[in-house]
Chains A and B, each alone.
Chain A
């Protein structure tokens, strides 16, 4: 391997490995055959629309809810009790014993973690040292969110599993948490698995992502690979006079043109494979579709997200 080149993924050990995870509620599958591979040292973004199954998957990984099938390994450990020794977590909005101080809450967490170290350091890292001895009931939502991250940090974890850690934070707070998570990976060599629906945040901080929709993993990989991976696909935003007719034209291309999302001002976002833009434009015009705009686009994580989740179906339903 050349110096400075990232190691191939298959030689980096897994920090979190999920295989065939299934969870059903009242007969309905919420998580279906989920496979995840989070490598040691990853800052992994777990993305999905609301109700996609992110929190259910996380709760299964942490053993809070029973899984109907599948395996979860954390740092190579399959035993559900022992594997949690290396994990710090925050699930949804963190809750505390409100009448106790922030420091006391972390001390209680230490008692259950079996490791009394790190309370002061965790408080310092999330910027709560000065308010650490105040009762939590006086904390703002943002402070509670920070305290939740501090609680995940006590007990010297190797892997952090955080569910929407920037919920309730203002832009400055979100930036601080983002910087903190990146620092934890770079400086402390932690592996961080973070679920979020804030795509720009994830794109800015994560090196790898997994996108889940309706309980199924739709895409997983390095962010750079996922965004650059479809080199043969040209994305264009198309403004059309007749949406239904345009969709019929797209259907008739045998997959060479595909709806992958929605552009600005109600335009269609179309991915073209082995079909150049002018030929596509010609097909639309010949079919009697008025083309009001045809703008090539660079892909972002948001584009990828919209492409692989249910947006295409939704667009078709609207038409």
Chain B
């Protein structure tokens, strides 16, 4: 049963998440990425000297708010910000297990799963806030500077504002999945560093599996194409569909990963001895 004071527990976790170094760092980086994307797009869009395959950067880069905010989303999801979210999630579970502060929560009249749920909600809110910051700080200035893509000047399948927004929403779902995995690993390895190393190893193994599946796919082995969306990296990368098209299977895989990781983490915490 949910404790009646569960909202206060979430409030307590929010207070911790947004005052920890990982939380503050994530917000700063989200802002830097958002504003940085506008600056870099502006520079690239006005660069007539640098060339790629004979075309200048100014010709290649499409200066509009959707493109700019989409690139900001890609930059945000490339390594650094997920790492900060990973640190925030593992600090609130593995870090607190190691520092013996989690036990102070668990000696209170609450079911153990609720302590994990409050931490998931608080860390997920950090993911949401960083996405809002990156999105707002990249889209709004770019809207003023470059405007929206002209409907008659772009291909039919060119990303719209709506698809960009869905991309941000998908990135949030992907972050929640990452947080759930981090919390499960936190309860298994019980150290922040251990969580990061373990997840990196898992993602490297996943990369290898994807490489093999891609080779099989190129060799026209039918099952490879069916399996690819179900790999962890592809599930977590479901947001990438903002620029082309979303793949429903990736979302389904992400949902399963998130639900299984969350459920396993809650069962694990309910049964484990807390130091």
CB of B46 within 8 Å of the partner chain: no
CB of B27 within 8 Å of the partner chain: no
* Contacting residues, chain B, for A104 (C-beta < 8 A): 15
Cα A99 to Cα B19 with chains together (Å):
8
Q: Which stretch (B81-89, B96-104, B148-156, B240-248) binds chain A?
A: B96-104
CB of B263 within 8 Å of the partner chain: no
Interface string of B14-50 (1 = CB under 8 A from A): 0110011000000000000000000000000000000
Contacting pair B101 A95 (CB below 8 A): yes
* Contacting residues, chain B, for A211 (C-beta < 8 A): none
Cα A114 to Cα B114 with chains together (Å):
13
CB of B109 within 8 Å of the partner chain: yes
CB of B106 within 8 Å of the partner chain: yes
Tell me whether A81 and B107 are in contact in the complex, defined as CB-CB below 8 angstroms, given that A112-B9, A112-B12, A114-B4 are known contacts. no
Contacting pair B274 A81 (CB below 8 A): no
Contacting pair A109 B108 (CB below 8 A): yes
Contacting pair B273 A66 (CB below 8 A): yes
CB of A85 within 8 Å of the partner chain: yes
- The B interface is mostly helix, strand or loop, or mixed, namely loop
Q: Which stretch (A8-16, A57-65, A187-195, A220-228) binds chain B?
A: A57-65
Which residue, of B8, B12, B109, B111, has the highest number of chain A Cβ atoms within 10 A? B109
Chain B proximity of A165: nearest CB distance (Å): 15
Chain B proximity of A98: nearest CB distance (Å): 8
Contacting pair A81 B109 (CB below 8 A): yes
Contact of B108 among A84, A91, A95, A99 (CB under 8 A): A84
Which residue, of B9, B100, B101, B107, has the highest number of chain A Cβ atoms within 10 A? B107
Tell me whether A81 and B110 are in contact in the complex, defined as CB-CB below 8 angstroms, given that A95-B101, A111-B8, A111-B12 are known contacts. yes
* Contacting residues, chain B, for A155 (C-beta < 8 A): 108
CB of A291 within 8 Å of the partner chain: no
Contacting pair B19 A91 (CB below 8 A): no
Contact of B109 among A107, A108, A114 (CB under 8 A): A114
Contacting pair B100 A64 (CB below 8 A): no
Contacting pair A112 B105 (CB below 8 A): yes
Contacting pair A63 B15 (CB below 8 A): no
Contacting pair B104 A95 (CB below 8 A): yes
Chain A proximity of B112: nearest CB distance (Å): 9
CB of B3 within 8 Å of the partner chain: yes
Interface string of B195-219 (1 = CB under 8 A from A): 0000000000000000000000000
Chain A proximity of B262: nearest CB distance (Å): 20
CB of A97 within 8 Å of the partner chain: yes
Contacting pair B107 A91 (CB below 8 A): yes
CB of A89 within 8 Å of the partner chain: yes
CB of A277 within 8 Å of the partner chain: no
Cα A89 to Cα B106 with chains together (Å):
11
Q: What's the interface size class on B, roughly?
A: 20 to 34
Contacting pair A97 B106 (CB below 8 A): no
Contacting pair B103 A113 (CB below 8 A): no
Contacting pair B107 A64 (CB below 8 A): yes
CB of A82 within 8 Å of the partner chain: yes
**Chain B residue with the shortest CB-CB distance to A86:** B109
CB of A96 within 8 Å of the partner chain: yes
* Contacting residues, chain A, for B100 (C-beta < 8 A): 92, 95
CB of A252 within 8 Å of the partner chain: no
* Contacting residues, chain B, for A151 (C-beta < 8 A): 104
CB of A289 within 8 Å of the partner chain: no
Contacting pair A64 B274 (CB below 8 A): yes
Contacting pair B106 A64 (CB below 8 A): yes
CB of A100 within 8 Å of the partner chain: yes
Cα A97 to Cα B3 with chains together (Å):
23
Chain A proximity of B128: nearest CB distance (Å): 21
Interface string of B249-275 (1 = CB under 8 A from A): 000000000000000000000010110
CB of A52 within 8 Å of the partner chain: no
Chain A proximity of B187: nearest CB distance (Å): 15
Contacting pair B108 A65 (CB below 8 A): no
Cα A104 to Cα B4 with chains together (Å):
21
Contacting pair B105 A95 (CB below 8 A): no
CB of A87 within 8 Å of the partner chain: yes
Interface string of A59-89 (1 = CB under 8 A from B): 1001111100000000000000111110101
Mark out the residues of chain A between 182 and 229 whose CB falls within 8 Å of any chain B CB in the assembled complex.
none
Contacting pair B110 A87 (CB below 8 A): no
Chain A proximity of B275: nearest CB distance (Å): 8
Closest 3 CB pairs of A and B: A114-B5, A111-B12, A85-B109
